[in-house]
Structure 1
Amino acid sequence: MTLTTTVCAAPNRLTIASAFATRLPELGSQGVEATRRINKKLGRQLNVTLYDPGKLAPPGRYMDPVIVGAIDAAWSTPNLLINRNSAFGIFGGPPFGLPAADHMRWLAGPASTAYTAAYEAIGLAAIPCGVIAGQAFAWTQEPLRAPGDLKTLRIGIVSPGLSAHVLRTAGAQVRASSPAALHVMALSGALNAVSLGPYRVDLRMRTHQVAGNAYAPNPLAPAYVLDLIFGLKRWRALSDTARATIRTSCDETIQAALTRQSTAEPTSLKHLAEDANSLELIPAPIASHPLAAWRSTAEKLTAANPGFAAAIADYPWPKDLER
């Protein structure tokens, strides 16, 4: 990785590997917004550059280079780290959890210490820096009508977080990849359903052309956290001013995302409804099955990981949900 080693050697430069294509609405574009804010505030003190997947490391393989310092930082999500510690799935936005704004307040307040400690345990420092507030549960090629239909799903999702565990527990086959790759797999017949993330991504990718039946919203991801992740050594080497500026810029990016999505996402949903064969809530005969699958998943992860047990016990679950 000569490129990353050379780029990272300059103390006044910060290279960031993005887990998501930077042109992807919300998932990638919020990373672009955050880096622009940082650069504007710091001027020549720190030159921050965000790179698309594959530019600094093979797609999906950027985390270890960040830990060892070959890459300065990553634009990512806690949900991509649940195989290292399942508690990241709670920090990243658990199934049947709080709305996005409430979840971010919890993450910045009561959960802040545990979130920081979980990252430091694997050699990283992380700053919550973005959030997705709305997405579809699934776009399917055949309508969902009965509980058994979940077991027929071959569904592609963007992030292999807790939602993937829940879908597998419910009997679905799950494949994780980029939105573009999942779109191609659905066209080829390898998948019969997709969940690509924000509604604006569905509009951009024209998801209705590969799977025309949409079910929204997604109870498995009412909030989806994006964060800026640094190697601990690189983070600590930054000046106090740089660290404070990065935190402020991330806070501003989160607030801007929540404000934008409160108006943009309903508009996107309206446009999707015009294109889809159908757009509806998860049918009542099916609705209880994802919740049952989540409870089963949570029980197993609680028994296996004390960190997950602590995170799920501390989470302020919605009052209408008996976890």
Structure 2
Amino acid sequence: MHYHAKSLTPFVTALATSTFLLTSTISANLAADEKIRWKVQAVFGTHLPGLGDPIKQVAKQVKQASAGNIQFKVYEPGKLVPPFGITEAVKNKQLNAGYAWLGYDQGKIPAAALLSAVPFGMEPWEYATWWYEGEGKKLAEELYGKHGVHPVLCSVIGPETAGWFVKEVKSMDDLKGLKIRFAGLGGKVLQKAGASVTVISSGEIFPALEKGAIDASEFSMPAVDQLMGFDKVAKNNYFPGWHQTFTASHLVVNKETWDGLSEANKATIDMACTAGTFRALTRGESLQGKVLAGFPEKGVTAHKLNDDMLGSLKALTDEVMAEISEKDADFKKIYQSQQAFINEYKQWKKLAYLPRDF
């Protein structure tokens, strides 16, 4: 039997179309069936509201949104790797992913500190705007990509307190020789002020205060610090949190692992973390007023740092930023990006928002 080429054309076209549709369906099904089962270690206890619990909410949301295809098994701090070693473990594939505070990486990656907290820096929503709408996300991915890690913003909360102190501090002289737990760039500023600064993990802070090994400590917002028990031994809580005007935490994923995900799964994780970021902010803001109202009953006094001290701390901060920028090109690039954004945004911020002291 003989067929003319012309008579075969519809058959060939139909076959090609069917093959394309079948291939597309298989690809779609493979993407849908891509099972993600990650061990995710948290840097903060997941019982801590706004600070540690966002990763639990993200894990729940991502599982539901993916119909169970994406599942994170969240581990508490130190269960798999040391609390300050999360990103290194992710880089080396000891962990699939981690919920990290990137400021703890500043020893190896100085610019990392700018992604987690900046003295006299942005408001939390301002940082999120710089991250999503400005250069933040791109610069962070470039920075960590060189270290084999992909960062996803997964939480941002409001300012910390300026610290819990056993004794009152009224001037810069009171900081000289003070033994204090202080993380991130703020710690470098206090070192310049003459304080004896140490960085210890969250679980070690209360025993150190109780035993007198340290005279003061910062950690987070009042609702978190209360759960840590600081108000039992240090009765002077200072404000504002000049050293940490926002606290940002990130989901960090091995870059090779991230790059190997389907676009659908990347988008699902991104969406869950974006939602987690907003919910962390609202959760954190919802709790502090009640805690502050309970201070008198606990014998805790809320103090405001005077303008002279804030001015001196700002001057020292500028020195620290200039010194690190001179030594590290990545730090300089990211810090300049943040400062440019602040200078542009402040025009709106100054005019648009109602002053609260009229």
Query: TM-score when scaled to structure 2?
Result: 0.82
Larger radius of gyration: 2
1:174 to 197, 200, 203: 197
Give the CA deviation at 1:84.
2.3
Instruction: Tell whether 2:309 aligns with 1:286.
Output: yes
Distance (Å, rounded) in 2 between the aligned partners of 1:53 and 1:277: 29
Counterpart of 1:6? none
Q: CA RMSD in A?
A: 1.9
Distance (Å, rounded) in 1 between the aligned partners of 2:65 and 2:200: 34
Counterpart of 1:254? 277
Instruction: Tell whether 2:121 aligns with 1:97.
Output: yes
Instruction: Tell whether 2:106 aligns with 1:46.
Output: no
- Paired residue type of 1:61: G
Distance (Å, rounded) in 1 between the aligned partners of 2:140 and 2:85: 22
Counterpart of 2:157? 132
Report the secondary structure of 2:66's partner residue: helix
Is residue 41–residue 99 contact of structure 2 (8 Å, CA) maintained in 1? yes
Residues 213-260 of structure 1 deviation map (CA, whole Å, 9 limit, x = unaligned):
111120110111010000111112222221111110111111112223
Distance (Å, rounded) in 2 between the aligned partners of 1:129 and 1:273: 34
Alignment of 1:115-126 (within 5 A): 115-126=140-151
- Paired residue type of 1:79: G
Distance 1:196 1:276, change over 3 A: farther
- Paired residue type of 1:132: I
1:148 to 163, 173, 187: 173
Counterpart of 1:191? 214
Report the secondary structure of 1:262's partner residue: helix
Distance 1:166 1:276, change over 3 A: farther
Give the CA deviation at 1:123.
0.6
Give the CA deviation at 1:280.
1.6
Q: Identity, % of aligned pairs?
A: 22
Q: Which runs of 5+ in 2 are unaligned?
A: 1-33, 348-358
Distance (Å, rounded) in 2 between the aligned partners of 1:196 and 1:301: 23
Instruction: Tell whether 2:238 aligns with 1:215.
Output: yes
Greater helix fraction, Structure 1 or Structure 2: 2
Is residue 134–residue 199 contact of structure 1 (8 Å, CA) maintained in 2? no
Counterpart of 2:139? 114
Is residue 119–residue 126 contact of structure 1 (8 Å, CA) maintained in 2? yes
Give the CA deviation at 1:144.
0.6
- Report the more deviating stretch, 173-182 or 223-232: 173-182
Distance (Å, rounded) in 1 between the aligned partners of 2:56 and 2:216: 29
- Paired residue type of 1:170: A
Is residue 93–residue 103 contact of structure 1 (8 Å, CA) maintained in 2? no
Query: TM-score when scaled to structure 1?
Result: 0.90
Distance (Å, rounded) in 2 between the aligned partners of 1:273 and 1:134: 22
Alignment of 1:78-93 (within 5 A): 78-93=102-117
Distance (Å, rounded) in 2 between the aligned partners of 1:188 and 1:40: 45
Distance (Å, rounded) in 2 between the aligned partners of 1:261 and 1:167: 26
Is residue 26–residue 198 contact of structure 1 (8 Å, CA) maintained in 2? no
